[in-house]
């Protein structure tokens, strides 16, 4: 079984839109299994913000030795 992964937006319409790049990877005929995974965006947004803040912090004074490499 081959997996094709993509992200799409859900709307109030009962239609799942498949991006053209994903369609190009699908066979032209046959059966497929569709699995829809969703995430709680509030947790993901908090995680991304925390990761960004950690990334943007200045290096500690002990790490200044690595700046010359």
In a domain, 14, yes or no: yes
In a domain, 24, yes or no: yes
Distance (Å) of CA 40 to CA 20, 36, 37, 44, 53: 26, 13, 10, 7, 21
In a domain, 34, yes or no: yes
In a domain, 47, yes or no: yes
In a domain, 68, yes or no: no
At 63 the three-state DSSP class reads helix
Higher pLDDT, 25 or 46: 25
Predicted pLDDT at 41: 67
Predicted pLDDT at 37: 85
Tell whether pTM > 0.85.
no
Domain of residue 22 covers: 1-57
How confident is the model over 51-69, as a mean pLDDT? 79
How many domains does the chain divide into?
1
Predicted pLDDT at 17: 92
In a domain, 39, yes or no: yes
How confident is the model over 38-46, as a mean pLDDT? 74
In a domain, 69, yes or no: no
């Amino acid at each position: 079984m081959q997996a094709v992964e993509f992200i799409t937006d859900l709307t109030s319409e009962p239609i799942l839109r498949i991006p053209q790049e994903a369609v190009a990877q699908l066979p032209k005929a046959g059966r497929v299994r569709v699995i829809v995974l969703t995430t709680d965006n509030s947790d993901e947004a908090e995680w991304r913000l925390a990761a960004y803040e950690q990334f943007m912090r200045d290096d500690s004074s002990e790490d200044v030795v690595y700046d010359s490499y």
